[in-house]
Amino acid sequence: MDHPAFSQLLQEDCDRSHLVPLLQRIQQLEGYISEQSVRQIARLLKISENHIYGVASFYSQFRFHKPGKHHLKVCLGTACHVQGGAHLAREIQKQLNLRSGETTPDGSIDYEEVACLGCCAQAAVVVIDGVIHAKMTPDRLLKKIDQLRGQQSTFSEAETQSLLAPTSA
Amino acid sequence: MTDDLFAQFRAIQRRASEMWAALQNGLQPLIYLGTASCGCAAGALDTLCAIQETLQELSRPAHILQVGCIGPCYLEPLMDVQLPGLPRISYPKVNPEKAKRILRAALMEGDLSPKLAVGHFGDENFTRQSGIPRFFDLPMLKPQVRVILRNCGLIDPREIDHYLAHEGYVGFIRALQKGPLGVIEEVKRSGLRGRGGAGFPTYKKWEICRAASGDRKYVICNADEGDPGAFMNRSLLEGDPHAVLEGMLIAGFAVGAQQGFVYVRAEYPLAVARLRHAIQQMRQYGFLGENIFGTGFRFDIEVKEGAGAFVCGEETALIASLEGERGMPRPRPPYPAERGYCGQPTLINNTETFGILPNILRKGGEWFSQLGSPGNTGTKTFSLVGKARYTGLIEVPLGMTLRQIVFDIGGGTVRPFKAVQTGGPLGGCLSAAHLDTPVDYENMRASGSIMGSGGLIVLDESTCIVDLARYFLTFSREESCGKCTPCRIGTRILVETLEKIARGEGEREDLDVLYKVADTMQRTALCGGGQTAPNPVLSTLKYFMNEYLTHIQGRYCPASVCTALFEYRILAEKCTGCGRCIRVCPNGAVRGEKKEPHSLNVELCVKCRACVEACKFDAIVGVPTGSRQPQEVTL
């Protein structure tokens, strides 16, 4: 089965300089880079799978496992660091027993530490399902996490739908 | 041909100006809302919903202008109201309720709620009339000079007409008239130096690229703003994308390129959206294409998203990334201006450099060279963040002192000032002794830091210097591309040594290790990244040696950051028993009756600092671990 991203790109003149944008498009559609998609890219661009993993794993953006329903990111930029970003990260690691890049066993929340989101004047910031929350403190963050756990799939189902929509269309 | 070109552009410009004038002088109120990433983070989108609801409720038509960041991010979300015939008035920290209140008063009763306002955009008369100060007279804004940011927060970045109405693309038209060599001459006269941080004269790079032979030449805008704590490029791209794109057009024309790329960080989705939209509009208006305004100049611009790698801010690594490879630097020469993207001559400049160019062409190199100080001409944007009172995006003439920036513009710090960190992870920390250093390329380097791309992080006594050095080196370790050994292994050893010191296991000899490894890296690493990565360690060792020694010999972290080297204590004589600390403690470590001094169980305390931030009486202090009498400890 060919992914829509491929069929679209097949029509374009593709060379290896399209590798990064192609990976980005796949991840946007599927949420992660699957083994199958790597095989397809390899065929399309006539490069080895090994090379693709080499490039993809170099960049922090790409993930190789299915993401959780909710996405939790903590900014660890300098401004966030001096305003207590590390405390937030530590709190999450403790509460959810997760390290950066991991997903809870039930697949509800995945967690990522990012370098800087450029909202430094609002430090410390966290991003929950794409929404940036400013001036975060450990106790407010815990409440947010509880909310995420409470409403396991209200927001995320809609989000999953929107992710899947282009595939089914 | 020139006349036709003029006529065509004039027509576009006139239409845009008329549109803008109609908006400004119309009968409908204007509501401005800062919806850049920083505004949205502070809740601007909720405010936007509230504005729309209120207008509907009151059934009053009004134009809502979503503008970029105007600078003082600490006031976000900023909502401005401009009633017909009156100047624009700015209101800070506008949550949905406040928005409703202000709008109801203004639209129904003509009441401008002067008590809630922070500033207006009118003249002195209006200040006397209304009692509201001028917005640009606020302490944070008054010392600033806005050249690059001239449109940010004033126009809707999604409207090319707004940009055109503010002399947009005039610089490009001047460039077409002057011809490529005339443009380079003008840039030379301006004295402009690369704003990415290295300060290489811009015109020289252009001359090299123009002289280089190749089938096809490229212009790349480096918007891979990787320095944590810096967001100048993001703000400019979100608030005035056409300025940067016009700069690329001018550069493309000057060096003879046909294709431009904007390489933007993936973490900046709004900037990417704004750019794509702006490029679309440029094509519609004929600023991009095969034969631009009939001059025979052909140029197109494409947005490329980075995939998250700090090293891609280095130009050769950026090119490798664009070519679909791992973003690893390669030795220079050859420089990209001679052999870059796909082996062709490639001009790479920083976002801000491009953002300045339209102004230089529009107002002349001579004018630009009058700003700033000799050898360091013009203005520079900085992101002023950390512990400063007023945080946000600022623009100042080069040569202004750190003291003016931190204390006059930033309003100083609440707790005593400790240091200012400049230049990102490859920069350094400067102490209070350096506050009178002029901020320019040479002076910053001489003082042991670098100017870098423009991050200024203000630190107070609650920041631990050892922890900060560890933080930056951890960043450099994670982001080291791994190609050369000095950087790959050097950052590792530095982090491990700093962690050892932070754990309280440090010895005097560890300081020698730090010096030795840093020296090796400086001399032998492949790219600028590896060579300057030890800067945070070296500058802090130079200016804050005492703090290192307190960690090593005193086994104490005076800033209460390194968790192994302090514990919290509640001072009974200061505690009023208000219970705030009890409520914020995530671990139940604080106990106590109301109005009685509370006590803190060190076994349960995770040292998250929540109680310290919550306490209004400075009753919770860090003391060396195991000490009985907190007051007696002085180190």
Q: What is the CATH number of the domain that holds B291?
A: 3.40.50.11540
Q: Does A44 touch chain B (CB under 8 A)?
A: no
Torsion from C-alpha of B420, B422, B425, B426, nearest 10 degrees:
-130
Mutation target vs A (from B326, B468, B499; most A CBs, 10 A cutoff): B326
Residues of A in contact with B583 (CB under 8 A): 139
Q: Does B414 touch chain A (CB under 8 A)?
A: no
Write the DSSP symbol of residue B312. G
- One domain, residues B538 and B506: yes
Residues of A in contact with B306 (CB under 8 A): 59
- One domain, residues B327 and B294: yes
**CATH number for B572:** 3.30.70.20
Q: What is the DSSP string of B464-500?
A: -HHHHHHHHHHHHHHH--SSSHHHHHHHHHHHHHHHH
Residue written as token pair 């991050």: B455
Interface predicted TM-score (ipTM): 0.85
The answer as to whether B15 is a domain residue is no
Residue written as token pair 């491009």: B354
Q: Given B37, B309, B463, which is nearest A118 (Cβ)?
A: B37
Q: Give the per-residue pLDDT at B225.
A: 93
- One domain, residues B469 and B595: no
Q: Given A62, A118, A139, which is nearest B307 (Cβ)?
A: A62
- One domain, residues B342 and B221: yes
Contacting B residues, span 367-386, partner chain A, CB-CB under 8 Å = 383-386
Contact B394, B71 (CB under 8 A): yes
- One domain, residues B219 and B290: yes
Q: What end-to-end distance do the CA atoms of chain A give, in Å?
A: 14
| Residues of chain B under the 70 pLDDT cut | 1-3, 627-635
- One domain, residues B203 and B349: yes
Domain limits at B428?
381-460
Phi, psi of B171 (to 5 degrees): -60, -40
The answer as to whether B1 is a domain residue is no
Q: Does A42 touch chain B (CB under 8 A)?
A: no
Q: Given A60, A116, A133, which is nearest B229 (Cβ)?
A: A116
Residues of B in contact with A76 (CB under 8 A): 228
Task: Quote the minimal CA–CA distance from A87 to chain B in Å.
Answer: 6
Residues of B in contact with A59 (CB under 8 A): 306-309, 327
Among B418, B444, B460, the domain-final residue is B460
Residues of A in contact with B606 (CB under 8 A): 90, 94
- One domain, residues B546 and B517: yes
B268 to chain A: closest CA residue: A117
Q: Does B477 touch chain A (CB under 8 A)?
A: no
Write out the two tokens for B317: 């690594």
Tell me what the mean pLDDT of segment A44-65 comes to: 93
Among B528, B552, B576, the domain-final residue is B552
Spell out the residues 6+ positions from residue B269 whose beta carbon is closer than 8 angstroms to its own. none
- One domain, residues B190 and B169: yes
Indicate yes or no: CB of A61 within 8 angstroms of CB of B266: yes
| CA B42 – CA B23 distance, rounded (Å) | 28
Burial class (CB in 10 A: 0-12, 13-18, 19+), B155: buried
Task: Quote the minimal CA–CA distance from B137 to chain A in Å.
Answer: 21
Would you say residue A155 has pLDDT above 50? no
Contact A100, A57 (CB under 8 A): no
Burial class (CB in 10 A: 0-12, 13-18, 19+), B593: exposed
Q: Does B497 touch chain A (CB under 8 A)?
A: no
Mutation target vs B (from A32, A75, A116, A137; most B CBs, 10 A cutoff): A116
Each residue's pLDDT tens digit, B526-574: 988 899 999 999 999 999 999 999 999 999 999 999 999 999 999 999 9
How far CA A74 is from CA of A89, B455, B472, in Å, comes to: 6, 20, 17
Mutation target vs B (from A59, A61, A64, A82; most B CBs, 10 A cutoff): A82
- One domain, residues B244 and B322: yes
Beta strands in B288-339 (DSSP E): 300-305
Q: Does A20 touch chain B (CB under 8 A)?
A: yes
| pTM, rounded to two decimals | 0.91
The answer as to whether B373 is a domain residue is no
Q: Give the per-residue pLDDT at A13.
A: 65
**CATH number for B73:** 3.40.30.10
Would you say residue A10 has pLDDT above 70? no
**CATH number for B519:** 1.20.1440.230
Domains of chain A plus CATH, in order, are 4-56 (no CATH), 70-150 (3.40.30.10)
A18 to chain B: closest CA residue: B324
Domain count, chain B: 5
Helix axes A154-168, A19-30, angle to 10 degrees: 130
Q: Does A87 touch chain B (CB under 8 A)?
A: yes
Indicate yes or no: CB of B231 within 8 angstroms of CB of A120: yes
Mutation target vs A (from B37, B38, B303, B305; most A CBs, 10 A cutoff): B38
| CA B356 – CA B565 distance, rounded (Å) | 48
Phi, psi of A85 (to 5 degrees): -60, -35
Other C-beta atoms lying within 10 Å of the C-beta of residue B617: 12
Residues of B in contact with A84 (CB under 8 A): 608-609, 613
Indicate yes or no: CB of A82 within 8 angstroms of CB of B610: no
Burial class (CB in 10 A: 0-12, 13-18, 19+), B213: exposed
Q: Give the per-residue pLDDT at A91.
A: 86
- One domain, residues B473 and B452: no
The answer as to whether B615 is a domain residue is yes
Indicate yes or no: CB of B304 within 8 angstroms of CB of A138: no
The answer as to whether B573 is a domain residue is yes
Contacting A residues, span 129-168, partner chain B, CB-CB under 8 Å = 132-134, 137-139, 142
| Confidence band of A30 (pLDDT split at 50, 70, 90) | confident
The answer as to whether B113 is a domain residue is yes
The answer as to whether B399 is a domain residue is yes
Residues of B in contact with A9 (CB under 8 A): none
- One domain, residues B470 and B454: no
| CA B398 – CA B380 distance, rounded (Å) | 6
Mutation target vs B (from A78, A131, A140; most B CBs, 10 A cutoff): A78
**CATH number for B418:** 3.10.20.600
Q: Does B355 touch chain A (CB under 8 A)?
A: no
Amino acid at B297: F
| CA B119 – CA B122 distance, rounded (Å) | 9
Residues of B in contact with A23 (CB under 8 A): 307
Q: Does A18 touch chain B (CB under 8 A)?
A: yes
In sequence order, which ranges of B72-223 are alpha helices (DSSP H)? 96-109, 124-130, 160-165, 170-190, 202-211
- One domain, residues B350 and B397: no
Among B552, B579, B612, the domain-final residue is B552
Q: Give the per-residue pLDDT at B613.
A: 86
The answer as to whether B447 is a domain residue is yes
How many Cβ pairs closer than 8 A exist between chain A and B?
161
Mutation target vs A (from B238, B267, B587; most A CBs, 10 A cutoff): B267
| CA A88 – CA B200 distance, rounded (Å) | 40
